């Protein structure tokens, strides 16, 4: 574990490192008990881990923003390339169509110039024949008319073929334009689909971030539940010890005078410290909870709360039954009952609102919220030993 190298990519890695560091500090405190240097080192290490947690969270957020910007830039670059490619293809098609139209116009111009030249040639031939024959015969006139009619029919057929070719070219141009419009519509649809996919990716990233935040919050709630469970167990143990001591003191006062109960009582916190120091769990024996186990812990905690309330009611009944025996018991018994009642009154919870500290009045209770690292340490190792001072302010580190 000492040679393990951490890569702090998220907050969970920081929590794992903090858990292992806390275990090492616990072992060091066991080997070097009551060492002032170790006690001063623990809050400083806690502050360093808190700063590392904040930096890792900030780094995670920056990495997420950078990935979003990079993905947006890549999508914009892909869209730009697609649009440039479509524009180049469209321009190439327009140039091809323009070249075809120019070639067709040149062919038509050549055909028209050829027809004009042939017409001029025919006109000159007709004029020459008229000058050579002043009064043509009827047969020659008929031949001339027939030849002129044939030439006219040929010219008309050529013009008709050219007009059909022009209309065919126009129809092809219209079909090309329709195909180009269809391709443009497909391009627009593809751009809309890519934008929709980008929005879906953005939503998935946001959901992933929310899941990470929920996981972090669940871990913090888990630590708080473990801490509350420890506190409830300690309270139940203390109440059982008080009930046992009360029963023993009552049985002792009925048989013979007993010494002061303050000599017989033992602090439950001291017992928990001795039991904790005597039975220190190993690293492998520490609890690792799943979601189902956490639910079981919550149910057990509720059961312990009910048990605590039952013990409290039973203790109240014992206390009420011991008060009317003041005329039967001896003076020592009266002193014992009064001492027990005074001790019990001192241990009762304060009723009503508690006056807040000046810091809470100025900044509210949110200003002194415990960090996740401190809560993790106190949830894993309890509020005893070297981690007890973590709930206090770290102002003593200024010296």
- Domain annotation covers residue 149: yes
- Binned at pLDDT 50, 70 and 90, residue 269 comes out as very low
d(CA 273, CA 284): 21
> Which one has a higher pLDDT value, 270 or 357?
357
User: Around Cβ 351, how many Cβ atoms within 10 Å?
Assistant: 6
d(CA 213, CA 57): 10
Listing DSSP states for 224-243 in one string gives HHHHHHHHHHHHHHHHHHHH
How many folded domains does the chain comprise? 1
- Domain annotation covers residue 380: yes
**Given this model, what pLDDT does residue 130 score?**
59
- Domain annotation covers residue 304: no
**Given this model, what pLDDT does residue 254 score?**
57
- Domain annotation covers residue 253: no
**Given this model, what pLDDT does residue 140 score?**
58
Give me the mean pLDDT over the 84-103 stretch. 89
- Domain annotation covers residue 336: no
**Given this model, what pLDDT does residue 359 score?**
46
- For the ranges 68-77, 119-128, 345-354, the lowest mean pLDDT is seen at 345-354
Nearest to 107 by CA among 175, 158, 174, 177: 158
User: Around Cβ 371, how many Cβ atoms within 10 Å?
Assistant: 16
Nearest to 340 by CA among 254, 269, 241, 260: 260
d(CA 277, CA 161): 112
* Cβ(361)–Cβ(17) below 8 Å: no
- For the ranges 53-57, 75-79, 336-340, 358-362, the lowest mean pLDDT is seen at 336-340
Nearest to 336 by CA among 251, 272, 253, 223: 253
CA angle 314, 315, 318 (to 5 degrees): 90
Q: Mean pLDDT across the chain, nearest whole number?
A: 72
- Measured CA distances, 338 to 201, 253, 311, 314, 343 (Å): 72, 13, 21, 19, 8
pLDDT in tens, 220-254: 888 888 888 888 888 888 888 888 888 888 777 75
d(CA 25, CA 230): 21
**Given this model, what pLDDT does residue 281 score?**
46
- Domain annotation covers residue 344: no
- For the ranges 99-103, 267-271, 358-362, the lowest mean pLDDT is seen at 267-271
pLDDT over 60 (residue 133): no
- For the ranges 9-13, 83-87, 190-194, 270-274, the lowest mean pLDDT is seen at 270-274
* Helices within the chain (DSSP H only): 11-31, 36-132, 138-255, 261-264, 268-278, 291-322, 331-347, 358-363, 372-381
- For the ranges 7-11, 209-213, 248-252, 338-342, the lowest mean pLDDT is seen at 338-342
pLDDT in tens, 13-35: 888 888 888 888 888 878 887 77
- Binned at pLDDT 50, 70 and 90, residue 112 comes out as confident
Domain that holds residue 392: 1-224+370-399
> Which one has a higher pLDDT value, 64 or 150?
64
């Amino acid at each position: 574990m000492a040679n393990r190298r951490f890569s702090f990519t998220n907050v969970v890695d920081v929590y794992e490192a903090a858990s292992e560091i806390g275990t090492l500090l616990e072992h060091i405190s066991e080997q070097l008990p009551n060492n002032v240097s170790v006690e001063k080192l623990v809050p400083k290490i806690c502050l360093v881990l808190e700063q590392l947690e904040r930096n890792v969270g900030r780094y995670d957020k920056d990495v997420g923003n950078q990935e979003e910007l990079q993905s947006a830039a890549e999508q914009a670059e892909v869209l730009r390339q697609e649009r440039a490619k479509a524009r180049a293809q469209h321009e190439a098609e327009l140039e091809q169509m323009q070249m075809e139209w120019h070639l067709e116009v040149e062919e038509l111009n050549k055909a028209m110039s050829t027809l004009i030249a042939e017409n001029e040639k025919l006109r000159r031939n007709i004029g020459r024949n008229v000058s050579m024959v002043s009064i043509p015969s009827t047969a020659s006139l008929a031949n001339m008319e027939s030849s002129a009619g044939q030439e006219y029919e040929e010219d008309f057929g050529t013009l008709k073929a050219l007009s059909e070719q022009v209309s065919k070219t126009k129809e092809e141009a219209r079909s090309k334009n329709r195909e180009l419009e269809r391709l443009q519509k497909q391009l627009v649809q593809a751009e809309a689909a890519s934008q929709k996919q980008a929005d879906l990716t953005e939503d998935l990233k946001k959901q992933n971030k929310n899941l990470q935040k929920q996981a972090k919050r669940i871990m913090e709630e888990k630590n708080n539940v473990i801490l509350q469970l420890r506190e409830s167990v300690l309270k139940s143990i203390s109440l059982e010890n008080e009930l046992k001591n009360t029963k023993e003191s009552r049985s002792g006062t009925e048989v013979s005078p007993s010494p002061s109960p303050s000599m017989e009582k033992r602090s439950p916190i001291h017992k928990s410290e001795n039991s904790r120091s005597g039975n220190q769990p190993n690293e492998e024996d520490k609890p690792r909870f799943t979601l189902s186990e956490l639910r079981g812990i919550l149910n057990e905690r509720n059961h312990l709360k009910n048990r605590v309330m039952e013990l409290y009611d039973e203790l109240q009944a014992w206390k009420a039954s011991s008060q009317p025996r003041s005329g039967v018991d001896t003076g020592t018994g009266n002193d014992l009952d009064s001492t027990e009642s005074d001790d019990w009154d001192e241990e009762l919870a304060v009723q009503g609102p508690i006056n807040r500290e000046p810091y809470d009045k100025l900044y509210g209770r949110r200003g002194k919220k415990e960090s996740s690292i401190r809560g993790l340490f106190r949830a894993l190792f309890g509020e005893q030993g070297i981690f007890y001072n973590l709930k206090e302010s770290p102002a003593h580190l200024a010296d």
